[in-house]
Chain A
């Protein structure tokens, strides 16, 4: 028996070693393959990663060229935020943030499907952006001065104006911030919410116990289990989460807003052309809603009399060329993804379980904050 066993063992050991070598070879082969495919833009990626050395870049050399050579956009997303990013049964991603990834792909390639989604957690996202693993970060990221400066990030226009709120049980009798004296509050770690809460409570001289969790699921779970008196996150998140509660009617969102949370796409510093593209991609969705251009009527609107619409849709002028794109870039966004109202309603609007009111997220003509500079 022992002899047989020994032979078997030896064979196995050798085979495993051979396998290890194979695997090793594969590991090294993968990156070189990738490098070979994008050999031309490799150098430019290097400059993009070190923005301070070569701030000015010639046209066609930057991120846009890299992305075009690769044939798809790598979009950093969150795969587990109801309404903003989630997995559908067929395996595709969907959600408010995902739609802006699609819009960017539509603008660059004329094809909204040319996106590789990279799910990231709250701590990973800026590292992934800085290290050049993603082209754009659209992952409910709050625009703050610190992030804008120290993290080497550039924030495109806000796509969703959010604010931090607090959910409490109705029977707890908590109405104002002062009522939270001595309370324990559930909060997710690594987010601005944790800091905002500390700042606001310190400013008001309220003592409380933060109960910190890694994910939103755990945080709400702990709140529902009665481990904390209150639960705080952005109001959009509170609404989304409350719709999942077993008895939503027993809870309420307090009428306080702890912070401003403008959420929007983020790109690396150092490539202005790419930044411009992402910015105007967002503006195009704003402008389309303001001008009444939808995915349904966009073909008719191409021949509209309004010169602003004609310029937006590329019938007139060459706005796209100025961005380094085709002139029908905005047409593609609206045709394939839709204007801002369509994106909003599809993911968060009255037809969804969230039924979030537009509020600040309305066009400025309706009293909201969405305002696009003119397309001319």
Chain B
């Protein structure tokens, strides 16, 4: 905040700024040209909105979406094992609720939006006469329970929440995959993982594993050891020089020929590894940008207080460097999430792959628009969610302010 208010920020008289009409007169109908432009643009906008709403409500046949909700969400994952996925969702709601209560302490508008989404989904499922609607309400209840618990006992619950957050991912894999041939939590092969479940798993694993590898590569590239530096540069430039789809094809097509006969690596793992390799190279370059933004004085200051090279990096340089590149990293995560749809081209049934399979069903032939609009919306919701979360994180950490 500056102490002096610039001239342009001085507010006009109340009559001009407080009424809608006044605002419109100034901005929309200021001159004849403005008026014509307003009418043309407004007409086009109205026509466009009308056409879209009309299509959504009357022309579109949403059966291709509503009949196959299960498929979009979890692919061919057996229905008898659905409870495992719901259990994970319940747990996530509880953890997020607790974390919210402990660290944010306020409900905030976003929190309400997050709570409203399951209610909307539940109502939607009721109108579709699905039995599983109540589960979304359980998600909400658990989230709120977690929130109040977190707020009530922030000290006691902080540590368990951290641990749960860290253990959540391995737990997801364990529960989704299962173990043993029969009985409780039987093995569900990755060939049955699909839909949004697969897309999210690919994205989350890609993000979580590529991050540390990328940081190490970035440090390697900055290193003074020639071998380390050369290796890092070669890796980064090699991987950045090819498109992701090439890596995916290499994993699916060429890898089997290099493996000894009889040993096959799971197709999903091959895709995940390709995604991690690809993302790590880009991550490295982004992190390097952050490293280079740190003034030399910081290195010197760290040297002066007698920190070792390793301590200097971990305690002084990296925290500042990573903070500086949060917007770039999140941009990359969003890109990565959307890039997972490329695995549909190598025959995995992720959200896009499932959509293509459904479109070939004679019952839903010709419903491309509806199906693709639906999955586009799912991609948008998650991408925007990530974008918003990063915005919040930036504000909290004060990125851009010094």
Contact = CB atoms under 8 A, between A and B. Distances in A.
A214 B245 CA distance: 13
A246 B68 CA distance: 22
Contact of A42 (B262, B266, B359): B262
Contacts of B169: 19
B93 interface: no
A131 B262 CA distance: 9
A38 B262 contact: yes
A170 interface: no
Interface stretch (B17-25, B285-293, B313-321): B313-321
Interface stretch (A54-62, A77-85, A322-330): A77-85
A310 B213 CA distance: 65
A54 to B, nearest CB: 12
Interface in B34-83: 67-68, 70-71, 75-77, 79
B111 interface: no
A120 B182 CA distance: 29
A350 interface: no
Contact of A35 (B71, B263, B267, B348): B263
Interface string A60-80: 000000000000000000011
B368 A80 contact: no
B29 interface: no
* Range for the number of chain A residues in contact with chain B: 35 or more
Interface string B260-286: 111111110100010000000000000
A23 interface: yes
A160 interface: no
Contact of A116 (B191, B261, B345, B365): B191
Contact of B269 (A10, A27, A240): A27
B4 to A, nearest CB: 30
Interface residues on B, range: 35 or more
A26 interface: yes
A341 B98 CA distance: 61
A346 to B, nearest CB: 11
A87 interface: yes
B358 A86 contact: yes
A224 B49 CA distance: 24
A88 B79 CA distance: 14
A36 B173 CA distance: 22
Contacts of A87: 68, 71, 76, 349, 354, 357-358, 360-361
A114 interface: no
Interface stretch (A1-9, A290-298, A299-307): A1-9
Nearest to B253: A127
Given A19-B208, A30-B266, A131-B257, A80 B357 contact: yes
A120 B347 contact: yes
Given A81-B360, A83-B362, A86-B358, A45 B209 contact: no
A204 interface: no
Interface in B149-186: 162, 166, 169-170, 173
A256 interface: no
Contacts of B211: 16
Interface of B: 67-68, 70-71, 75-77, 79, 162, 166, 169-170, 173, 189, 191, 205, 208-209, 211-213, 215, 249, 252-253, 256-257, 260-267, 269, 273, 314-315, 318-319, 322, 345-349, 353-354, 356-363, 365-366, 368, 397
Given A20-B209, A119-B357, A127-B257, 7 more contacts: A11-B166, A86-B361, A88-B361, A91-B76, A121-B345, A124-B346, A353-B362
Q: Which 9 A-B pairs have the closest CB atoms?
A: A131-B256, A87-B357, A86-B360, A42-B262, A46-B261, A244-B366, A91-B76, A119-B347, A79-B357
9 contacts: A43-B262, A45-B262, A79-B347, A79-B360, A86-B359, A91-B79, A215-B356, A240-B365, A244-B366
